[in-house]
Chains A and B, each alone.
Chain A
Amino acid sequence: MFAKLALTLALSIVPIQDRDTVRQSEAQFARGVEAQQKGDLDAARQAYEAALKLIPQRIDALSNLGVVHAKLGQYDKAAANYKAALAVDPNEHDIRLNLGIAYFQMHQAEAARKEFAQVIAAKPDKLQARQLLGVCLFQLGKLPEAIKELEVVYAAQADNIGVAYALGTAYLQNDQIEAGRALIDKVFKFLPPAEGHLILGALNSATRKHVEAVEELKMAARLNPKLATVHTQLGVEYLITGNRDLAIEEFRAELKNNPRDFMANLRLGWLLREDGLLDEAEPLLKLALEMRPDDIAALFHSAQLAQARGRVDEAVKMLERAVSIHKDFRQAYVLLARLYLKQKRTADAKRLRAIIDRLNEEEQKRQPTADKLSEPPKAIDRPIKPPQFQ
Chain B
Amino acid sequence: MKRKIRLALVLAAMMAAAILLATAGQGLSQSQSPRPEPQRYLGVQACAACHAEITEKQQKSMLAKAMQPVPDCQILTSHKELKFQSGKFTFEIKRQGNQSLYTVSDGAAQISVPLLYCFGQGKSGQTYVYEYNGAKYESRVSFYTAIEGLDFTLGYAKDIPANIVEAAGRQLSVDETRNCFQCHTTGSTANRQLNLEKMVPGVHCEACHGPGEKHVAAMKAGEKAGAGMKKLGELDGDDINQKLCGDCHRSAEEVFELPNRAGINSVRFQPYRIFHSRCYSADRRIGCTACHDPHGDLEASAAFYDSKCLACHTSKNEKATADRNAKACPTGKSKCTDCHMPKIDLPGAHFKFTDHRIRIAREGAPYPN
Contacts and interface: CB of A to CB of B under 8 A. Distances in A.
Nearest to A22: B1
A334 B262 contact: no
B249 interface: yes
Contacts of B256: 330-331, 334
A132 interface: yes
B264 interface: yes
Contacts of B9: 101, 128
B265 A373 contact: yes
A321 interface: no
Contact of A374 (B17, B31, B35, B155): B155
A142 B124 CA distance: 47
Given A229-B22, A357-B368, A388-B120, A161 B15 contact: yes
Given A64-B4, A376-B159, A383 B173 contact: yes
B72 to A, nearest CB: 17
A33 B4 contact: yes
Interface in B192-246: 192-193, 236, 238, 242
A169 interface: yes
Interface in B252-309: 252-254, 256-260, 262-265, 268, 275-276, 280-282, 298
B84 interface: no
B347 A380 contact: no
Contact of A389 (B27, B124, B193, B264): B124
Nearest to A160: B14
Contacts of B192: 244-245, 275
A95 interface: yes
B361 to A, nearest CB: 15
A233 to B, nearest CB: 10
A367 B262 contact: yes
Nearest to A284: B30
A107 interface: yes
Contacts of B257: 331, 380, 382, 384
B98 interface: no
Interface residues of B, number: 100
Contacts of B333: none
Contact of A132 (B11, B19, B282): B11
Interface stretch (B52-60, B87-95, B176-184, B320-328): B176-184
A302 interface: no
A324 interface: no
A243 to B, nearest CB: 4
Q: Which of B28, B121, B122, B123 has the most CB of A within 10 A?
A: B28
Contacts of B12: 128
A66 interface: yes
B275 A334 contact: yes
B158 interface: yes
Contacts of B22: 107, 139, 228-229, 232, 258, 260-263
Interface of A: 26, 29, 33, 36, 58-60, 63-64, 66-67, 70-71, 73, 78, 92, 94-95, 97-98, 101-102, 104-105, 107, 128, 131-132, 135, 138-139, 160-166, 169, 191-192, 195, 198, 226-229, 232, 241-246, 252, 255-263, 275, 277, 279-280, 284, 330-331, 334-335, 338, 341-342, 346, 349, 353, 356-357, 360-361, 363-364, 367-370, 372-378, 380, 382-390
